Amino acid sequence: MSRFVRPQTKTLTLANGDQLIVRERLTAGEQRAQFARMYTANGDGRYRTNPLMIGIGTILAYLLDWTLTDDAGSRVEIRDLAADDLQHVIDSLDPDSFAEIRSAIEAHESAMQSARDAEKKTVGETP
């Protein structure tokens, strides 16, 4: 098992057929950026979770592209947007769509973590 993350993607399909292209796995730097969006400093050297930023932090960490369209039917381009610009687009979604995207990405994150945990167990076992 390599200690380095290969830049692989996974396609997630939403209920209406729209697709999300997400990172299969985060690098240490991507995970750190995710956490930086989700936590705020207390001023005493400790950090506090900002519950309003947990979902958007996870979406911004994983989401690379999608097939979502605007009211005119044109695809909304997000590939290679800076995180702040992507957040502006995400924040323009209706709350139900945001929740659906968040749920799909969080389920993916959980599934990938479970797979890595299972892989770690089998690597440590001797035949």
Burial state string for 22-59 with b = 16 or more CB within 10 A and e = fewer than 16: bbebbeeeeeebbeebbbeeeeeeeeeeeeebbbbbbb
Q: Is the model more confident about 122 or about 106?
A: 106
- Does the pLDDT of residue 116 top 60, yes or no? yes
Would you state the structure tokens that stand for residue 111, as one six-digit string? 């599934």
The torsion angles phi and psi of 6, rounded to 5 degrees, stand at: -80, 140
Integer Cα distance of 55 and 101 in angstroms:
9
pLDDT of residue 113: 85
Domain-wise residue ranges, the chain: 9-111
Integer Cα distance of 103 and 9 in angstroms:
18
Would you state the structure tokens that stand for residue 98, as one six-digit string? 């945001």
The pLDDT mean for the chain works out to 91
Nearest to 56 by CA among 6, 90, 14: 90
pTM of the model: 0.85
The predicted-structure confidence for 3-62, as pLDDT tens digits, reads as follows 898 999 999 999 999 999 999 999 999 999 999 898 888 888 888 888 889 899 999 999
